[in-house]
Amino acid sequence: MKDFKYYTPTEVVFGEQSEEQVAQLVKKYGGTKVLVHYGGKSAERSGLLDKICGLLKEGDIDYVKLGGVVPNPRLSKAQEGIELCRWEGVDFILAVGGGSVIDSAKCIAYGVPYLGDVWDFYLGKASATEMLPVACVLTIPAAGSEMSEASVITNEEGDVKLGYSNDLSRPKFAIMNPRRTFTLPPYQTAAGVTDMMMHTMERYFTKDDDMDLTTDIAEAILRRMKTAVYDVMKDPENYRQRAQIMWGGSVAHNGLTGCGVSDDWATHQLEHELSGMFDVTHGAGLAAIWPSWARYVMHENLNRFVRFAVNVMDVPNDFTDPETTALKGIEAMERFYHDIGMPVNIKELIGRDITDEEIKEMTRKCSRDYTATCGQFKILKADDMEAIYKMARG
Ligand code: NZQ
Ligand code: ZN
């Protein structure tokens, strides 16, 4: 069994009244001048942004606002935030939004005390030793950034999307009110659930499959997210099921499902090239890649795929033919993706055929100019990456 460290310092404040505590939480974690960071219009439209600003004001906490974070958040917006925070003397960053806003907030927080270019961290040229504290009011359960140590930023120069992980960036607190997710469009709801299920699956498909409790937890999350997403598709204001999904997004990516196993992340890395190049929704990009990845790698640990088929996708176990059972599990997952409006290949994702040149370019980027591999379940070289992209073209 793999040794592990489990570090999850974020204070989660969950429920319908959770937002009321925002000012006292900011004070608790030392904030005196706050950057309220947000995305497009959703937090304005719902009144959440005004509510949060009003509560900070009532709590005598000074703040400045910076909106305009787009999905697949851009480096240029973070650089604007870094300048603003330095100019205003900001000492705490509060993200009001989803993974994109939280990741942009983390990038700003790294950049403020750093004398060089914040992109250095994402390029692996530097490691952060200090940053401003970050916290969030979550509005879309998906990326898990509200408890994770990761942030993923797109540099518009070259459409390069890179992640940087550092425990320092785990948010101080995460306010989660499931009611705030009632306004999510079905596509974002489905993409979010796909992402959190994939965060679980990236750790579930492992060769170190002897930490049974982690496996049990992962299967429970996957089954629960499937049921819950079907229910909220029928009834978007189902608080109970929205709450399952909101908490699911956090536990899927706060490290719990990675205890004692080696994680893979190949589907994520292959996807980041898709959202970097085509600016697609991350969760949808994952759904477009995973079935091809799964078929390509399943023989590395066929038992794991059989277990997934039977325990998660409710496929009857044909003990005489494990390969067929495993394949039926992958097909059942494709049917699930279609049921919730997700694509199962790149053509469905981008609405046209992907060209050979585009596949070559994604392969080049994903393999860091043919120098790097990705994945653990099966270690993928550039040729493997290209083969999976070709299988996924649809
Ligand atoms: O910009 P607004 O108007 O707020 O609209 C957003 C956005 O268009 C909308 N939205 C959010 N809350 C809403 C809402 N619409 C209605 N009602 C609400 N309550 O949803 C859209 C998507 O938001 P975004 O923040 O982009 O979604 P998500 O949380 O899926 O974040 C995706 C980003 O996170 C990265 C992805 O690569 C992608 O860039 N990831 C971050 C990770 C991490 N930091 O640990 C891990 C993930 O694997 C992922 O890579
Ligand atoms: Zn993800």
DSSP string, 91-112: -EEEEEESHHHHHHHHHHHHHT
Residues 124 and 203 both lie in one domain: no
pLDDT score for 356: 98
Residue minimizing CA distance to atom 42 of ligand 1: 143
Length of the chain: 394
State the pLDDT confidence band at 351, using cuts at 50, 70 and 90.
very high
Element (H or E) spanning 329, and its range? helix 322-339
Tens digit of pLDDT for each residue in 1-55? 999 999 999 999 999 999 999 999 999 999 999 999 999 999 999 999 999 999 9
Q: Is the pLDDT of residue 122 over 90?
A: yes
pLDDT score for 118: 98
pLDDT score for 332: 98
Residues 173 and 191 both lie in one domain: no
CB atoms within 10 A of CB 339: 13
Residues 362 and 300 both lie in one domain: yes
Structural domain includes residue 315: yes
Residue where one domain finishes, among candidates 133, 152, 180:
180
CATH code for the domain in which residue 58 is found: 3.40.50.1970
Residues 204 and 334 both lie in one domain: yes
pLDDT score for 211: 95
Residues 194 and 165 both lie in one domain: no
DSSP-derived secondary structure letter, 178? G
Structural domain includes residue 363: yes
Residue where one domain finishes, among candidates 180, 212, 246:
180
Rounded CA separation 118/110 (Å): 7
CA 71 to ligand 1 center in whole angstroms: 6
Q: What sign results for the dihedral spanned by CA atoms 20, 21, 26, 32?
A: positive
Give the global pTM.
0.97
Residues 163 and 202 both lie in one domain: no
Ligand 1, CB cutoff 6 Å, lining residues = 39-43, 71-72, 97-101, 103, 139-140, 142-145, 148, 150-152, 180-181, 183-184, 188, 192, 195, 253, 268, 282-283
Q: Are 38 and 137 in contact (CB under 8 A)?
A: no
pLDDT score for 45: 95
CATH code for the domain in which residue 285 is found: 1.20.1090.10
Tens digit of pLDDT for each residue in 234-293? 999 999 999 999 999 999 999 999 999 999 999 999 999 999 999 999 999 999 999 999
Residues 188 and 176 both lie in one domain: no
Q: What sign results for the dihedral spanned by CA atoms 253, 254, 259, 265?
A: positive
Residues 145 and 106 both lie in one domain: yes
Structural domain includes residue 99: yes
Residue where one domain finishes, among candidates 116, 147, 180:
180
pLDDT score for 315: 98
CA 268 to ligand 2 center in whole angstroms: 6
Tens digit of pLDDT for each residue in 281-303? 999 999 999 999 999 999 999 99
CA 55 to ligand 2 center in whole angstroms: 31
Mean pLDDT of 128-155: 98
Identity at 283, one-letter amino acid code: G
Q: Are 132 and 92 in contact (CB under 8 A)?
A: yes
Ligand nearest to the CA of 290: 2
- Host domain of residue 340: 183-391
Tens digit of pLDDT for each residue in 352-382? 999 999 999 999 999 999 999 999 999 999 9
Tens digit of pLDDT for each residue in 47-97? 999 999 999 999 999 999 999 999 999 999 999 999 999 999 999 999 999
- The 3-state DSSP class for residue 355 equals coil
Residues 247 and 370 both lie in one domain: yes
The ligand 1 atom nearest the CA atom of 253: 45
Residues 201 and 175 both lie in one domain: no
Mutation probe of ligand 1 site: the residue of 162, 168, 188, 281 with most atoms within 8 A of C-beta: 188
Residues 372 and 232 both lie in one domain: yes
Residue minimizing CA distance to atom 28 of ligand 1: 99
Mean pLDDT of 305-327: 97
**Domain count within the chain:** 2
State the pLDDT confidence band at 209, using cuts at 50, 70 and 90.
confident
